[in-house]
Structure 1
Amino acid sequence: MAKHSDTSWKKDHPSTLLSNSVQKADRAVKQAMSHPEEIAVEHAFNSISHAKNALSNAEHRHEHMDTVEQNKDQLELIRQQLVEADENVKE
């Protein structure tokens, strides 16, 4: 019988990891938009980078491509929002 691990298999599944990463990046971008400070923007860029890595992994493994495409579109939208927030910080 298999041992129970501390983390669920769903957390390690590429499409789930992608969805979770995009949600985390979305929250980080919203934080950066509402509190446009350099550290918040940097954190959001890091979250987006992590989500892009998860996207690449999910695409490589051909995981639930409809969900992957939705997450890809959402990731692009939040990336654009972050670029705008970053421009506001630099002004």
Structure 2
Amino acid sequence: MEDHTQMSWKEDNVIGQLHNSVDNVTLAVGQALTNPSEQSIQNAQNMIERAERSVTMALESRGNLDPISALQEQLNRDKEKLNTIH
């Protein structure tokens, strides 16, 4: 029973970290769209790279769970938005 609780907590933690990472991308892309400076675009690109690594780690450690897939889709939409400005 303890192992199940531990796995659930770890799963929540991985998904929580991924969620934060994708949220940071959404904010950074929004800033880049509002103020398309080199710095804001570079910041958004850096956030995307970090989030992509987080997605990869989450998929490797947890498999293809619905919350991970949904966050990956959100990340892909944000990447497409950023691509519209450069």
User: TM-score normalized by structure 1?
Assistant: 0.78
**Partner residue of 2:74?**
74
Identity %: 29
How many Å apart are 1:62 and its aligned residue?
1.4
CA-based RMSD of the aligned residues comes to 1.9
1:21 and 2:21 equivalent?
A: yes
How many Å apart are 1:64 and its aligned residue?
7.3
How many Å apart are 1:14 and its aligned residue?
1.4
Please say which of residues 61-70 and 43-52 is displaced more in the overlay: 61-70
**Partner residue of 1:4?**
none
Number of residue pairs the alignment of both structures matches:
77
**Partner residue of 2:31?**
31
Listed as ranges, the gaps of 5+ residues in structure 1 are: 1-8
How many Å apart are 1:27 and its aligned residue?
0.1
SS in 2 for 1:59: helix
Q: In structure 2, how many angstroms separate the alpha carbons of the residues matched to 1:41 and 1:33? A: 8
User: TM-score normalized by structure 2?
Assistant: 0.82
- Per-residue displacement from partner, 1:63-83 (whole Å, max 9, x unpaired)? 671100000100000000011
**Partner residue of 2:45?**
45
Structure number with higher helix proportion: 2
Q: In structure 2, how many angstroms separate the alpha carbons of the residues matched to 1:61 and 1:71? A: 15
Please say which of residues 61-70 and 41-50 is displaced more in the overlay: 61-70
